[in-house]
Amino acid sequence: DQQVKQNSPSLSVQEGRISILNCDYTNSMFDYFLWYKKYPAEGPTFLISISSIKDKNEDGRFTVFLNKSAKHLSLHIVPSQPGDSAVYFCAANQFYFGTGTSLTVIP
Amino acid sequence: ETGVTQTPRHLVMGMTNKKSLKCEQHLGHNAMYWYKQSAKKPLELMFVYNFKEQTENNSVPSRFSPECPNSSHLFLHLHTLQPEDSALYLCASSQGFEWETQYFGPGTRLTVL
């Protein structure tokens, strides 16, 4: 059974606006979460992470929020840029991945 | 070469063939992994090697056989595969084994006819 879920397969956002990508998990034992970004014909690359002792982690335009009680995390990209167009994967405890959300940023 | 490389990038094979996928990491990492990504499914962890020792085999059929001769190289030997094994096979490495960021190769797109 899938323990990490990304329920939105795709998302389109205008350049300069905020992109919000969501991820839900079912296993309360998960305590470390990562976001990866994947361009076509390339492997996923690490973007940002958060441990369960925090509820927010920020790195430049990227912020990850963690809501442990809801077993939910989200990735915010502000402002969105066309180069952010990629597939974004949420992962928990290093090995449990979601199916990905394809983000398109429209110039 | 830098990062994690995989060869071949594309592979088409029949069900009776034997082939091997190769992964090489140039990052000095100690752990290496094989993942399978099928269409509309999450990445599935197949095998984990930590300091050349296999520490995880995620209920993978025996027609997939991993080999890790040293901490920089990882192989996936394939034999008598099924059409449902067609997928993107990704190799990754990390410095350690716990709470680590993984570095992925570009993947091998495998098609089994």
Cβ contact A98–B102 (<8 Å): no
Band (B2; pLDDT cuts 50, 70, 90): low
CA B52, CA A53: separation in Å to the nearest integer?
A: 32
A92: pLDDT strictly greater than 90? yes
Report the alpha-carbon angle B43-A42-B109, nearest 5: 65
Cβ–Cβ contact B106 with A under 8 A: yes
Q: Which residues of A touch B42 (CB under 8 A)?
A: 2, 4, 89, 96-100
Cβ contact B42–A46 (<8 Å): no
B94: pLDDT strictly greater than 80? yes
Hey, which residues does B31 pair with through a beta bridge?
B50, B94
Cβ contact A43–B105 (<8 Å): yes
Band (A14; pLDDT cuts 50, 70, 90): very high
Indicate the average pLDDT of chain A.
95
Three-state DSSP state, B93: strand
Report the alpha-carbon angle B38-B31-A52, nearest 5: 75
Hey, which residues does A63 pair with through a beta bridge?
A58, A76
Question: Per residue in A37-71, pLDDT tens?
Answer: 999 889 999 999 999 999 999 999 999 999 999 99
Cβ contact A45–B104 (<8 Å): yes
Band (A31; pLDDT cuts 50, 70, 90): very high
* pLDDT at B51 (0 to 100): 80
Cβ–Cβ contact A41 with B under 8 A: yes
* pLDDT at B1 (0 to 100): 53
A30: pLDDT strictly greater than 80? yes
Band (A28; pLDDT cuts 50, 70, 90): very high
Q: Which residues of B touch A34 (CB under 8 A)?
A: 101
Which residues lie below 8 Å from residue B18, measured CB to CB, with a gap of 6+?
B77, B78, B79
Torsion of CA A35, A38, A42, A45, to 10 degrees: -20
Band (A96; pLDDT cuts 50, 70, 90): very high
A35: pLDDT strictly greater than 60? yes
Band (B104; pLDDT cuts 50, 70, 90): very high
Question: Per residue in B35-73, pLDDT tens?
Answer: 999 988 899 999 999 887 777 777 899 999 999 999 899
End-to-end CA distance of chain B: 32
Q: How far is CA A27 from CA A69, A74, A92, B40, B69, in A?
A: 12, 17, 9, 21, 35
Question: Per residue in B6-30, pLDDT tens?
Answer: 999 999 998 888 999 999 999 999 9
* pLDDT at A99 (0 to 100): 94
Q: Which residues of A touch B104 (CB under 8 A)?
A: 36, 43-45
Rg over CA atoms, chain B: 13
